[in-house]
Amino acid sequence: MLRTSASRVLDDSDRDEVLDLLDTDPVANVFVSSRVQSVGLNPARLGGQMWGFGPRGGLTALCYAGANLVPVNAGPEAVSAFAERARRQGRRCSSIVGPVEAVSQLWERLEPHWGRARAIRWAQPVMATSRPAPVPADPLVRRVRPDEFDVLIPACVAMFTEEVGVSPNLGDGGTLYRTRVAELIRIGRSYARIEDGRVVFKAEIGAVTAHACQVQGVWVHPELRGHGYAVAGMAAVVEAALACFAPVVTLYVNDYNTSARAVYRKVGFAEVGTFMSVLF
């Protein structure tokens, strides 16, 4: 019989209970919730395991263990249980990301076993808005067409490298990353302003649920920064996201990126929480 102090691997029979727990904070949990809603809890489809803390019918916390390790509603006891399972399994993720309290406690327990991280983002404000921007939207920001993949992908690689600190082309040569970029274009969740074959501004809507959607990959061409493209571009993305995807638009940003935070505030975003990321 499961000890209350242990975690367990969940399956599709736990789906409804998992979604109910995720819905207690639909903004913070938008990424994990979107995965579960899309593919369920079978590890082969999920791209990892979902760990639960608490007995069936009494789940209190979750941890998505895939390419990222993402704790959900995890207090100290759940963190200890998830850390023990992660320690035994060994590191398989490229990052730990989620609410700062849980991630900091997880990393405190895992660092002695996993070794030093490549980078730690100690405070990443989570921001959200449910209203169109109070500033004009850029009318030239639109959905990217499938035939514009080759135009968009260099901007995506540049954004990823600038943000994460390593190129997405490492390891598999960028195959998985290119597949994801193409998929977001195909399903209409990639937006950009493209002029003369050059990306001026771009952003993607990476996760979508009935309650919220998450913007990612915001980027302005380095030669054009400081000219208002980010504010007007984000206003256009928020307008499209509210109209097409969900009633709340969210994102998270590094605390030291003061220019980006200023852009998001101008567009109407307000801080609603804090994430932390540990990158390997």
**What span, in angstroms and rounded, lies between the C-alpha atoms of 107 and 276?**
10
DSSP H helical ranges for 14-120? 15-22, 30-39, 43-46, 76-89, 100-114
Of 211, 280, 155, 175, give the one whose Cα is nearest residue 31.
211
Q: What is the number of H-type helices and E-type strands within the chain?
A: 9, 12
| Residue 104 shares a structural domain with residue 219 | no
Q: CA triplet 165, 167, 172: central angle to 5 degrees?
A: 140
Could you count the other beta carbons within 10 Å of the beta carbon of residue 208?
Answer: 20
Q: Does residue 250 form part of some domain?
A: yes
**What span, in angstroms and rounded, lies between the C-alpha atoms of 89 and 83?**
10
Q: Does residue 279 form part of some domain?
A: no
What is the 8-class DSSP label of residue 211?
S
Tens-place pLDDT, residues 145-199: 999 999 999 999 999 999 988 999 988 888 999 999 999 999 999 999 999 999 9
| Residue 50 shares a structural domain with residue 178 | no
Mean of the pLDDT values across residues 68-82? 98
Using the 3D structure, point to which of 64, 86, 116 is the last residue of a domain: 116
**Residue ranges making up the domain that contains 63:** 7-116
| Residue 163 shares a structural domain with residue 247 | yes
Predicted TM-score (pTM) of this structure: 0.94
- The pLDDT confidence band at residue 56, using thresholds 50, 70 and 90, is confident
Say whether pLDDT at 66 is over 80: yes
Cβ(152)–Cβ(192) under 8 Å? yes
More confident residue, 210 or 170: 210
State both tokens at 90: 């060994």
- Whole-number pLDDT of residue 179: 96
| Residue 270 shares a structural domain with residue 136 | yes
Burial of 155 (0-12, 13-18, 19+ CB in 10 A): buried
- The pLDDT confidence band at residue 5, using thresholds 50, 70 and 90, is low
* Percent of the chain residues past pLDDT 90, beyond the cut: 94
Say whether pLDDT at 210 is over 70: yes
- Whole-number pLDDT of residue 1: 38
Q: Does residue 103 form part of some domain?
A: yes
Q: Which residues contact 20 (CB under 8 A, 6 or more apart)?
A: none
- Whole-number pLDDT of residue 172: 87
What's the domain count of the chain? 2
Tens-place pLDDT, residues 93-150: 999 999 999 999 999 999 999 999 999 999 999 999 999 999 999 999 999 999 999 9
Could you count the other beta carbons within 10 Å of the beta carbon of residue 183?
Answer: 11
| Residue 28 shares a structural domain with residue 105 | yes
- Whole-number pLDDT of residue 193: 98
**What span, in angstroms and rounded, lies between the C-alpha atoms of 106 and 72?**
12
Cβ(128)–Cβ(252) under 8 Å? no
What's the farthest any 2 CA atoms get from each other in the chain? 64
CATH number at residue 210: 3.40.630.30
- Whole-number pLDDT of residue 6: 87
- Whole-number pLDDT of residue 2: 45
- Whole-number pLDDT of residue 104: 98
**What span, in angstroms and rounded, lies between the C-alpha atoms of 272 and 15?**
27
Tens-place pLDDT, residues 255-277: 999 999 999 999 999 999 999 99
